[in-house]
Amino acid sequence: MAAPAVRTLSRYLLRQHVAPLGFALAALTALMLVNTMAKQLSALLGKGLPTGVIVEVFVLSIPFIVAVTLPMAVLVAVLHVFTRLAADNEITAMQASGVSVTRLVAPVLGGAACVALLSFAWNDQVLPRSNHQLRILQVDIQRKKPSFTLKEQVINEVVAGQFFLRAARIDATANKLKDVTIYNLADPERRRVITADSGLMAYTPGGRDLYLTLQDGDIREVNRSDPTQFNRTFFITNRMRVAGVGNSLERTTNDAYKSDREMTICEMRQAAADARREAGNAALEGRRVIENDLRRLAGLAPRTLSPGMFATDTAPPGLYCRLLRRLAAWLPPLQASAAQTPLAQQPSSPPPQRPPPRPRPRPLQQPHPGQPPPRFTPPPLAPPPPPPTAGPILQSTRPPVYVTAGVGVGEEQRRVAARQREVMYEVEIQKKYAIAAACLIFALVGAPAALRFQRGGVGLVIGMSVAVFTVYYIGLIGGEELGDRLILSPFFAMWTPNVIFGVAGLVGLWRIRKPGNAPHGGDWSDVLEVALRVIGWPGSLLWPRWRRAS
């Protein structure tokens, strides 16, 4: 086939995938977003949050959902397009024109590779930042108590465990209270019960504090340390301020802590290098402590630990991180100043100071004629050491031997904890790569399946998508757990599902490209037959006879 015809066919196949990919991505993202809203909406509404904050929570949840649904959308689009092309006999026409199966799948795999690169950039740059902002917002929301409301004929807890209020009648429009009783337990030494005939309530402009103006009542106070003391004070007007009632949402702006899911790959590589260095330091300190204990037992002086045995390297390792650093160097000065401090602004080191000159010895002064010679006073001699005391028992001059209790236990715990942190970061790094590569793997699995079972229709698209999603993400979650527990290496823990589905896709592509297994019309009976053969069910041998009999 000529080159222009090849390019036309490739563009045609890619255009056919654009609309299904967008629709599948939007539908799956909306479905998972609705599920998230159903779980969190009631709790958010109970906090009395503004509508903008609730919308912000769900908007910040979208990047994580897109990171999961983008590979799923690729599989749905590939299955839908190839089954539709086969149903319209377009696949048959292309094969009659000399187009091979490999030629049909090649542009789709190229487009899936581009989507995989986009997914990787999304997972590494957009997702960590949105996760960081979402965590900060969720922590701020958790610190906020539910909105303050008063109910009639009920003891309302205004301040948890400290201030309680009961009113027989509440006029919400005029903010008037009738027959008010207040229990003030804020002072642990005194208990106050305040009663009033009526009252008014108002909030501060910020909505945090509550002002109460009580009319015609009394204050009864009991001293807990001396129960015999009882005070009762009558008042005509009593004004009170209750702080922190509204408890408005306070946004955090300087939270620098980041978990592994809030870091980019370069940040996690640096954190993993720090954890690896800490594990090496802990192992070295453990060996040095044991060595010093052995030296003490042998009567030798212990060796001191040299700090900074492992030098700190601030440059993030890896080609990808070096490329990002070069790209950051091309940014404008205002943006690049946040990442790197200019040399002109760095504090200059003070010039080295010369050591103070040594005092020179005074030359001997020659006496002048007719004058007495100068006097010279020698320095006082050190007192002689006291004589050794003789005793019945001779004391040894060797220092006492001290052996460290629990030698090496703390260092070993530090080493294991640092190793677990390192593996946790490595697992998260490999997961970012694996999820991005799943776009290409799912295209490799979906194309042979759609060409093999051309009459599967929508049922094949939905059924196979659900099956592949379930198996893949169960394997991904299980691999992450095994990797965090140091049972599997981070690479195999995250890439095993990709390897399994990739091998299955290559085998399927090899089988349909053989002359004897050319793409032909297959329905759900063919799908069931293949599934029974794969699982090795004994009844699979009788399946062709049942089909012929039916």
Q: Which residue did the predictor score with more confidence, 34 or 46?
A: 34
The confidence band for 383, taking pLDDT boundaries of 50, 70 and 90, is low
**Mind giving me the DSSP string for 298-359?**
TTPPPPPP-S-SS----SPPSHHHHHHHHHHHTS-HHHHTTTS--TTTSPPPPPPPPPPPPP
The DSSP 8-state label assigned to residue 207 in this structure reads S
CA 338 to chain centre: 23
Model pLDDT, residue 451? 86
Report the alpha-carbon distance of residue 288 to residue 278 in Å, rounded: 15
Ranges of each domain in the chain: 156-242
pLDDT tens digits, one per residue of 395-445: 444 555 455 555 556 778 888 888 999 999 999 999 999 999 999 999 999
83 touches 46 (CB < 8 A): no
The confidence band for 367, taking pLDDT boundaries of 50, 70 and 90, is very low
Model pLDDT, residue 297? 82
Side-chain-side CA neighbours of residue 234 (13 Å): 1
Model pLDDT, residue 346? 41
Task: Look at residue 386 and tell me whether its pLDDT is greater than 50.
Answer: yes
Provide the b/e sequence for 125-153 (b: ≥16 CB within 10 Å): eebbebbbbbbbbeebbeebeeebebeee
CA distance to 203, 243, 473, 526, per residue, from 160 (Å) = 18, 12, 43, 66
The mean pLDDT of 338-348, rounded to a whole number, is 40
Report the alpha-carbon distance of residue 241 to residue 542 in Å, rounded: 84
Lowest mean pLDDT among 17-21, 52-56, 277-281, 546-550: 546-550
Helix (H) or strand (E) holding 18: helix 3-46
Model pLDDT, residue 349? 43
Report the alpha-carbon distance of residue 185 to residue 181 in Å, rounded: 13
Report the alpha-carbon distance of residue 349 to residue 252 in Å, rounded: 36
Report the candidate in 255, 33, 16 with the shortest Cα–Cα distance to residue 129: 255
Query: Which value, to the nearest 10 degrees, does the dihedral of the CA atoms of residues 147, 148, 152, 155 take?
Result: 110
Helix (H) or strand (E) holding 361: none
pTM: 0.69
Per 3-state DSSP, the chain is made up of helix, strand and coil in percentages (nearest 5) of 55, 10, 35
Residue type (1 letter), 386 = P
pLDDT tens digits, one per residue of 164-206: 999 999 987 788 999 999 999 888 888 899 999 999 988 777 6
The confidence band for 158, taking pLDDT boundaries of 50, 70 and 90, is confident
Task: Look at residue 106 and tell me whether its pLDDT is greater than 80.
Answer: yes
CA distance to 27, 340, 341, 358, 372, per residue, from 344 (Å) = 53, 12, 8, 38, 66
484 touches 424 (CB < 8 A): yes
DSSP collapsed to 3 states, 36-66: HHHHHHHHHHHCCCCHHHHHHHHHHHHHHHH
The confidence band for 290, taking pLDDT boundaries of 50, 70 and 90, is confident
Task: Look at residue 67 and tell me whether its pLDDT is greater than 50.
Answer: yes
pLDDT tens digits, one per residue of 26-44: 999 999 999 999 998 888 8
Task: Look at residue 119 and tell me whether its pLDDT is greater than 90.
Answer: yes
**In percent, how much of the chain has pLDDT > 70?**
73
Q: How far does the chain reach from its first CA to its final CA, in angstroms?
A: 43
